[in-house]
Amino acid sequence: MKKYLPEGKIFNSPENRYYLQSERTMAEAMAQGLTLEGHAVLCDSEHNIIVELPFGKGIIPRSEGAIGIQEGKTKDIALLSRVNKTVCFKVTDIVHEKGEVICRLSRRLAQEECIERYISTLTSGDVIPAKVTHLEPFGCFVDIGCGLPSLIPIDAISVSRITHPNDRFFNGQDIYAVVKSCDEDR
């Protein structure tokens, strides 16, 4: 089974670097339906995410930026917060515009695949890799694969009493988490 990891975990892998190197290798990745990662450098005025590529430009249209954006279940801050961070994506098209190679990308498709092939198979007690993305007084938000968020409530962070999740975690920290339960949407 393919491993679905938090965003940023495959960015420096030899396979990811290989597929990002040229238009030809990106076309290979598109044909194989691979999930790749790149560096988001900008979120434009229409909330499209611009991804830096060595040979051109990648664009994740707003509607493809995350699950739930189109339906209004996910707020645009989820896109804006990806600037200067690694994002996962699938290549959906490669076009030439004004002498520039433009790759059309979809983060939503990568997330949907992650849910279908990985998250939906998790059961209570599974130990999974996660990456801390945000700390709040009530708990710790983590990326459990392809940028999909989950919450570790403060009472599940430590066996001893803590006043804030930052007593145990910091943003960007790689951790392992135990699946407590799986609901339909979380």
Q: Which amino acid is at 16?
A: N
Average pLDDT, integer, range 158-168: 93
Task: For residue 100, name the pLDDT band (cuts at 50, 70, 90).
Answer: very high
The reported pLDDT for the residue numbered 166 is: 95
Backbone angles phi, psi at 90, to 5 degrees: -115, 145
Residues 104-150: tens digit of each pLDDT: 999 999 999 999 999 999 999 999 999 999 999 999 999 999 999 99
Residues 77-86: tens digit of each pLDDT: 999 999 999 9
The reported pLDDT for the residue numbered 40 is: 97
Is the dihedral angle over the CA atoms 113, 39, 12, 172 positive or is it negative?
Answer: negative
48's tokens = 């499209």
The reported pLDDT for the residue numbered 2 is: 61
Could you give all domains of the chain from N- to C-terminal order, each with its CATH number?
14-117 (2.40.50.140), 122-178 (2.40.50.140)
Residues 11, 63: Cα–Cα separation, whole Å:
23
The reported pLDDT for the residue numbered 182 is: 78
The 3-state DSSP class for residue 64 equals helix
DSSP 5-30: --TTSSTTSHHHHHHHS-HHHHHHHH
Residues 85, 40: Cα–Cα separation, whole Å:
6
